[in-house]
Amino acid sequence: MNENIKSIEEGLKSLIEQTYLIEKEYKVLGESYANLQKFTQGIVESLGASLWAISTSGEVMLSNDKAKQIMDILPSINMQKSTQEVEFDGRVYAIKITHNMQNKIILATDITDEKRSARLVSMGAVAAHLSHEIRNPIGSISLLTSTLLKRIDDRNRPLIEEIKKAIYRVEGIIKATLLFTKGVQISANEFKLKDLEIMCGEAVAQYAFTKDIEFKFSGFDGVICGDINLLDLVFSNFIFNAIDAIEESNDDGGVVSIEHKFKDGMHNFYISDSGVQLPSGTIFEPFKTTKLKGNGLGLALSLEIINAHKGSVAVQNEPKLFTISLP
């Protein structure tokens, strides 16, 4: 009888020890599984794309943070196609669908910037070709117009001057297009800011507008080191945009102001106008414009020129103000 009790006690002791051992192994296994899950999630999160794992019932079993931000894109994806492009919330995504057993793994890569770059390259090539084709006949027309100005009477002079202004605008577009497609390279020299002010006045005289606009240029004192011809193009573009903004407003006239101040080693130019407000979204994207006039290159090219001078541009809308800072 005692031997049976002793045997049962030993059996219980062994069972308890095995239970503890199993519990310990289960705990280790649970920790390993948790670490594996954490490791897997880390890999999923490190992807440069959105990822979902979809069950046969359509339930999302796994997703990373990028995917959670665009969950509403899923209904737009054709689950029957392994590869496709989907537009969602102003962005373009390349979709790839693979299968793991009965489950679907969806990978969505944002290719918006790549698509935009490809489009800009294509548009730039076409624009450059057209500019080359147009430059020669425009040059001939400009030469003939200048000759005609010397021969006509004063009664017809305003008409020819308007033609010259229109030609000047086309020549500016051609110059900007070719410069944009070739890339900006500056030739920096020291020059007087007063010379830049004179160039701004000459640009105004060459530009056609219908309203009574007052131009205020102040503080153009001292010298600066830069490419005066390219900076002339920058300020001309900002002046023309200001003029167009006033032309699009409901007022009979307006004011365009450029004020220069030197502070902390920087030349700061404050450009303002009384025209319509700036559109929402980016205003420096090439070939994109909301203006009634223009080809969308002026501000984009100006930004490239300013960057080439190691400068910067700050924009605010209320009140409307551009601040160009050049070292």
pLDDT at 269: 92
CATH class, range 49-110 = alpha beta
In this structure, which CATH number among 1.20.1070, 1.10.3470, 3.30.230, 1.10.287 belongs to the domain 112-183? 1.10.287
Provide the pLDDT for residue 33: 63
CATH class of the domain comprising 186-327: alpha beta
Query: Torsion angle of alpha carbons 50, 56, 58, 61, nearest 10°?
Result: -50
233-252: burial string, b at 16+ Cβ within 10 Å, e else? bbbbbbbbbbbbbbbebeee
Q: How many residues does the chain have?
A: 327
Residue with tokens 């537009």: 87
Q: What distances in angstroms separate CA 220 from CA 42, 198, 321, one per listed residue?
A: 57, 10, 18
Q: How much is the pLDDT for 305? A: 86
CA distance to 106, 132, 228, 268, 325, per residue, from 263 (Å): 54, 42, 21, 7, 10
Domain boundaries defined on the chain: 49-110, 112-183, 186-327
Calculate the CA 320 to chain-centre distance: 20
Cα 252 to Cα 85, 203, 214, 320: the distances in Å are 48, 22, 12, 19
Greatest distance between any 2 Cα atoms in the chain: 140
pLDDT in tens, the chain (327 residues): 566 677 777 767 777 777 777 777 777 777 666 666 665 666 655 667 888 888 888 888 878 888 888 888 888 888 888 888 888 888 888 888 888 777 888 888 888 877 777 766 666 666 666 666 677 777 777 777 777 777 777 777 777 777 777 776 677 666 766 666 666 777 888 889 998 888 888 888 878 788 888 889 888 888 889 888 888 888 888 888 888 888 888 888 888 898 999 888 889 999 888 888 877 666 666 555 655 555 566 777 788 888 888 988 888 877 888 888 988
